[in-house]
Chains A and B, each alone.
Chain A
Amino acid sequence: MILSVQHRTTYRYDRPVRGVVQSHRLTPSVFDGQRTLGWQVGLSEGIRGGGFRDGAGDWVQGWSVRGPVGEIVVLVQGTVETADLSGVLRGHREAIPPEAYLRETATTRADRALAELGLEAAAGLADALAAAHRMCEAVAGAIVWRPGATQAATTAAEALARGEGVCQDHAHALIAVARSRGVPARYVTGYLFAAPGEGPQEAAHAWAELWVQGLGWVGFDPANRCCPDARYIRIGSGLDARGAAPIRGIARGNGAEHLDVDVAVQAVQQ
């Protein structure tokens, strides 16, 4: 598929701020499942900083804006050709070993309920891939997709206790379940093309990747009960949502910040 992305993030400040510094992970991953045909990231009035590929294989780009400034816009536009690799992240170069993705974070800590969910789903299964699918199914079944039910800071354990959440909660829960089973897991951000009426409409999407011996990293999307295919564009990863955040930033000043996000993903060619 050829997918086009328009992603605009607007920050408005009550009172002009003295300056802004941001760190972006907003560039499509380089692997066999996708080829970037054109991609641009811009920051209004921004000064481009240093860029580098980090240990997870993501392109990180620094930006700064001189104040005073009352509003800034991050605009991402591009086109990517994708292929369906059944979720397998083939041909991706990275330096962090899978073992590092067994580390706990505050939002992905497995409480007893999450550990039990993993145990029920995967206990006794020798086939790592089958176990991963079962864990994904279990999380999908235990957390109903409901926008607005949770917040950015909601933990995997809280989402499971509530029984509802959004893609971030699904991904956190699957990561917690997998790590509790000794399976390295991580949070992945990207874009999803979904035709109208085709399940959760989260164009700015998130899912999880689990380390499967013999295959490497494999994506699982509990929110859509599937593995990422040609409808997905992969951007970056981290131990959890915070670690994988596409935009991290800080403004110098004391004006309150208002955020407005607008994402559109279209299929240019099926």
Chain B
Amino acid sequence: MTFFNEMYHDGEVRPPYARLEGWTRAMPAELRQMKQAEAEALFRRIGITFAVYGEGGDPDRLIPFDMFPRVFTQDEWRRLERGIKQRARALNAFLVDVYGRGEIVRAGRIPGQLVYRNAAYEAAMAGFVPPRGVFSHIVGIDIVRTGPNDFFVLEDNCRTPSGVSYMLENREIMMRMFPALFRENRIEPVDSYPERLRRTLASVAPAKCAGEPTVVILTPGHFNSAYYEHSFLADLMGVELVEGQDLFVEGEFVFMRTTEGPKRVDVIYRRIDDGFLDPLCFRPESMLGVPGLMDVYRSGGVTLASAPGAGVADDKAVYVYVPEMVRFYLGEEPILPNVPTWQCGQREDLAHVLEHLPELVVKEVHGSGGYGMLVGPRASAAEIAAFRDRILADPDSYIAQPTLALSTVPTFVAEGLAPRHVDLRPYCLVGERVELVPGGLTRVALREGSLVVNSSQGGGVKDTWVLAE
């Protein structure tokens, strides 16, 4: 298998990386080591040590930061941006539809059982259209690259995708350590993200909100692995960070306890899962949420971002149908294609998958974070045999994809620079407008040859540049 190197291609340095060539050459090993230690110290001082959503692992472990940036040209980014926005629109249209009339199911374009029997479908949302018809206000779309013009969507994250604080911090640290680089290269800024996020959330205030909306971030608390990100974003957005016990329902509204007495809250950017939001509606034993919240929400007294039940759009089994959503709701062809996917629940697909296990990547439909996953070409015969039994026991729970030749970007390793595989998670904001800052989180598989970028599996992060024209 050959891999597309984003910097060195066909024996030449690709234009967006041209200035980085000289930069690395001019950096002696001692300086590099010193800088790397400095970067780590900076991260530690800030306290950014969490794992990216759902990836598990030690929450206090520092995710390794690689100083060599990942670079996109303006042209590449424009195409990505159009494709990401298109997908974010289609995913939201799908959510409005399946909690409404379900036209896409009636039209036979997606099987009803995949939607309505899905664990992520929330009957409590049926018949409700959230403000501006937005269910997923922050859509994280994971993208992989296999060639100069070949980008694929690997996965959608419609609930509360995390990691955006890494995007912001990686940039901050790079600018502090290498100011010259940012003078030599014209790099689009990403620091407007918190303000854009705040505006997006304010734009989906509920009907009953009069005046400037009060936005808060609801966190499960400091023991949560992404707590740092919650407080970081609250800080940069200039909004309160609250826990369930700081909020209460009275009459038609939700209030936050403050030293000056109760203050009405209009928009809640919640970083807790659906099941914990309101013990009256979901898990009765949950202490993390706010009793009565769903009644206030559904009667238009507060907005929840993302809306409960948004996860039915980012399920791995539903993923297969996202290109169909783009055609059905937008009448457009998808700009960013899916990775070809076989559904083991379908007989012909299953036969193909079982025959080609050594070549395929097999994923659990409801799994995440690189657990419960088979990477055929890297697995032993025994591992493949064991996985085969798991698939046969419950075919509906598995999908399979070809092993993608993920692109590589030069990465600092002990011996110097070496190519390592990367992916990309940009964060698309959906409110009054659909927008995204030029950049995202690049995750890099630091182990040589590894195709798994998840931090729980030895992944790191890089600053992601989009060059201005």
Residue contact B248 to A19, C-beta cutoff 8 Å: yes
Given contacts A23-B281, A55-B127, A64-B249, 10 further A-B contacts (CB under 8 A): A23-B295, A48-B252, A49-B250, A55-B128, A64-B251, A96-B123, A97-B105, A97-B116, A99-B113, A102-B116
**Interface size, chain B (Cβ < 8 Å):** 34
CA A95 to CA B128, docked complex, whole Å: 9
CA A243 to CA B292, docked complex, whole Å: 15
Pairs of residues from A and B, 10 with the lowest C-beta to C-beta distance, nearest first: A55-B126, A50-B299, A95-B127, A62-B295, A21-B292, A55-B127, A100-B116, A99-B116, A250-B291, A96-B126
Q: Which residues of B contact A54 (CB under 8 A)?
A: 124, 126-127, 298
Question: Using a CB-CB cutoff of 8 Å, which residues 44-61 of chain A contact chain B?
Answer: 47-56, 60-61
**Does B301 reach chain A (CB closer than 8 Å)?**
yes
CA A23 to CA B249, docked complex, whole Å: 11
> Contact check: which of B123, B248, B279, B294 meets A100 at CB < 8 Å?
B123
> Contact check: which of B126, B127, B295 meets A49 at CB < 8 Å?
B295
Flag B124-151 by CB within 8 Å of A: 1 or 0 each: 1111100000000000000000000000
Interface SS of B by simple majority: loop
**Does B15 reach chain A (CB closer than 8 Å)?**
no
Q: Which residues of B contact A99 (CB under 8 A)?
A: 112-113, 116-117
Min C-beta distance of A98 to chain B, whole Å:
9
Q: Which residues of B contact A22 (CB under 8 A)?
A: 280, 292
Q: Which residues of A contact B112 (CB under 8 A)?
A: 97, 99
Residue contact B127 to A62, C-beta cutoff 8 Å: no
Min C-beta distance of A75 to chain B, whole Å:
19
CA A112 to CA B301, docked complex, whole Å: 45
Q: Using CB atoms, name the residue of chain B closest to A62.
A: B295
A55-B124 contact, Cβ under 8 Å, with A49-B299, A62-B299, A95-B99 = yes
Q: Using CB atoms, name the residue of chain B closest to A21.
A: B292
> Contact check: which of A49, A60, A97, A102 meets B102 at CB < 8 Å?
A97
Residue pairs across A and B with Cβ atoms less than 8 A apart, 8 shown, are A49-B249, A49-B292, A49-B296, A50-B295, A50-B299, A62-B292, A64-B251, A97-B102
Q: Which residues of B contact A94 (CB under 8 A)?
A: 127
Q: Which residues of B contact A90 (CB under 8 A)?
A: none
Residue contact B250 to A64, C-beta cutoff 8 Å: yes
**Does B311 reach chain A (CB closer than 8 Å)?**
no
Q: Using CB atoms, name the residue of chain B closest to A96.
A: B126
**Does B300 reach chain A (CB closer than 8 Å)?**
yes
Residue contact B251 to A49, C-beta cutoff 8 Å: yes
**Does B100 reach chain A (CB closer than 8 Å)?**
yes
Q: Using CB atoms, name the residue of chain A closest to B112.
A: A99
Q: Using CB atoms, name the residue of chain A closest to B125.
A: A55
Q: Which residues of B contact A249 (CB under 8 A)?
A: 280
CA A156 to CA B279, docked complex, whole Å: 24
Q: Using CB atoms, name the residue of chain B closest to A64.
A: B250
Min C-beta distance of B256 to chain A, whole Å:
15
Residue contact B126 to A56, C-beta cutoff 8 Å: yes
**Does A103 reach chain B (CB closer than 8 Å)?**
yes
Q: Which residues of B contact A250 (CB under 8 A)?
A: 279-280, 291-292
Flag B85-110 by CB within 8 Å of A: 1 or 0 each: 00000000000000111100100000
**Does A66 reach chain B (CB closer than 8 Å)?**
yes
Min C-beta distance of B184 to chain A, whole Å:
56
Min C-beta distance of A207 to chain B, whole Å:
20
CA A23 to CA B298, docked complex, whole Å: 12
**Interface size, chain A (Cβ < 8 Å):** 33
Q: Using CB atoms, name the residue of chain A closest to B119.
A: A103
Q: Using CB atoms, name the residue of chain A closest to B248.
A: A19
Q: Which residues of A contact B284 (CB under 8 A)?
A: 242
**Does A239 reach chain B (CB closer than 8 Å)?**
yes
Q: Using CB atoms, name the residue of chain B closest to A53.
A: B127
**Does A15 reach chain B (CB closer than 8 Å)?**
no
Flag B224-250 by CB within 8 Å of A: 1 or 0 each: 000000000000000000000000111
Question: Using a CB-CB cutoff of 8 Å, which residues 274-304 of chain B contact chain A?
Answer: 279-281, 284, 291-292, 294-296, 298-301
Question: Using a CB-CB cutoff of 8 Å, which residues 299-317 of chain B contact chain A?
Answer: 299-301
**Does A146 reach chain B (CB closer than 8 Å)?**
no
Residue contact B280 to A95, C-beta cutoff 8 Å: no
**Does B121 reach chain A (CB closer than 8 Å)?**
yes
Q: Which residues of A contact B105 (CB under 8 A)?
A: 97
Q: Using CB atoms, name the residue of chain A closest to B300.
A: A50
**Does A162 reach chain B (CB closer than 8 Å)?**
no
Q: Which residues of A contact B124 (CB under 8 A)?
A: 54-55
Q: Which residues of A contact B250 (CB under 8 A)?
A: 47, 49, 64, 66
Min C-beta distance of B170 to chain A, whole Å:
42
CA A23 to CA B100, docked complex, whole Å: 23
Flag A185-207 by CB within 8 Å of B: 1 or 0 each: 00000000000000000000000
Q: Which residues of B contact A50 (CB under 8 A)?
A: 252, 295-296, 298-301
CA A95 to CA B251, docked complex, whole Å: 26
Q: Which residues of B contact A21 (CB under 8 A)?
A: 248-249, 280, 291-292
Q: Using CB atoms, name the residue of chain A closest to B106.
A: A97
CA A102 to CA B116, docked complex, whole Å: 9
- B127, B280, B284, B295: most-surrounded residue (chain A CB, <10 A): B295
Q: Which residues of B contact A239 (CB under 8 A)?
A: 123
A47-B126 contact, Cβ under 8 Å, with A52-B298, A60-B295, A97-B116 = no
Residue contact B299 to A52, C-beta cutoff 8 Å: yes
A100-B117 contact, Cβ under 8 Å, with A49-B292, A52-B298 = yes
